[in-house]
Amino acid sequence: MGREMTSLLRRRCYRGISQWAAVCLAAFGLWGCASPNQLQTPISNFATAATSAATSFTAIDSQGAANLSSLHQAEALTVKRVNAPPDQCAVGDKACRLYYVKSPDTTHKPLYYASLMPKSVAFINGIKDYANALNALEKADATADVQSAYSDAMGAITAVAGALNVPAGVATSAISKPLGSVVGWAYGQYQNHLKNDALKAGIPAADKIIQQAVPILDLELQFAATAQAASLQSDFDAKDSTFLAQPTAANLKAEIQAANALDAALSGKPKAVIDDLAAAHAKLAAAAQDPTSSPADTVGAISTFLQQANNLKQIVASTSSANN
Q: What percent of the chain has pLDDT over 90?
A: 28
126 located within any domain? yes
Backbone angle region of 217, left / alpha / beta, with phi > 0 → left and psi within -120 to 50 → alpha: alpha
Indicate the pLDDT class of residue 320, thresholds 50, 70 and 90.
Answer: low
pLDDT for the residue 269: 75
pLDDT for the residue 15: 46
CB neighbour burial string for 73-99, b if at least 16 within 10 angstroms, e if fewer = eeebeeeeeeeeeeeeeeeeeeeeebb
pLDDT for the residue 36: 43
DSSP string, 98-162: -EE--TT----EES--S-S-HHHHHHHHHHHHHHHHHHHHHH--SHHHHHHHHHHHHHHHHHHHH
Alpha carbon of 192 to those of 13, 38, 142, 152: distances in Å? 25, 11, 10, 18
Q: Chain-wide mean pLDDT for the chain?
A: 79
268 located within any domain? yes
Indicate the pLDDT class of residue 319, thresholds 50, 70 and 90.
Answer: low
CB 265 within 8 A of CB 228: yes
Give the range of the structural domain holding residue 211, as residue numbers without chain letter: 36-68+117-323
pLDDT for the residue 127: 95
pLDDT for the residue 207: 93
- pLDDT of 21 over the 60 cut: no
Residue (of 181, 182, 196) closest to 30 by Cα position:
196
**Total domain count, the chain:** 1
- Find all residues with CB under 8 Å of 13, minimum gap 6, and list them: none
Which of 220 and 32 is assigned the larger pLDDT?
220
pLDDT in tens, 148-207: 888 899 999 999 998 888 887 656 665 555 555 434 444 445 556 777 778 888 899 899
Report how far residue 214's alpha carbon sits from residue 312's, in angstroms, rounded to the nearest whole number: 18
- pLDDT of 98 over the 70 cut: yes
Q: What percent of the chain has pLDDT over 70?
A: 78
H or E stretch covering 233: helix 218-245
Report how far residue 199's alpha carbon sits from residue 96's, in angstroms, rounded to the nearest whole number: 47
CB 127 within 8 A of CB 136: no
- pLDDT of 117 over the 90 cut: yes
- pLDDT of 239 over the 60 cut: yes
Report how far residue 38's alpha carbon sits from residue 194's, in angstroms, rounded to the nearest whole number: 15
Average pLDDT over residues 79-104: 87
20 located within any domain? no
- Find all residues with CB under 8 Å of 42, minimum gap 6, and list them: 284, 287, 295, 298, 299, 302
211 located within any domain? yes
CB 304 within 8 A of CB 277: no
Give this prediction's pTM.
0.77
156 located within any domain? yes
Q: Which amino acid is at 220?
A: E
151 located within any domain? yes
97 located within any domain? no
DSSP 8-state secondary structure symbol assigned to residue 178: P
Per residue, what are the HEC states of 6-51?
HHHHHHHHHHHHHHHHHHHHHHCCCCCCCCCCCCHHHHHHHHHHHH
- pLDDT of 25 over the 80 cut: no
Helices (H) and strands (E) in the chain, counts: 10, 2
CB 25 within 8 A of CB 35: no
- pLDDT of 96 over the 60 cut: yes
Residue (of 211, 321, 310, 322) closest to 268 by Cα position:
310
299 located within any domain? yes
- Find all residues with CB under 8 Å of 43, minimum gap 6, and list them: 131, 134, 135, 138, 284
Which of 289 and 172 is assigned the larger pLDDT?
289
pLDDT for the residue 20: 36
pLDDT in tens, 212-227: 999 999 999 988 888 8
Most confident of 29-38, 65-74, 276-285, 313-322: 276-285
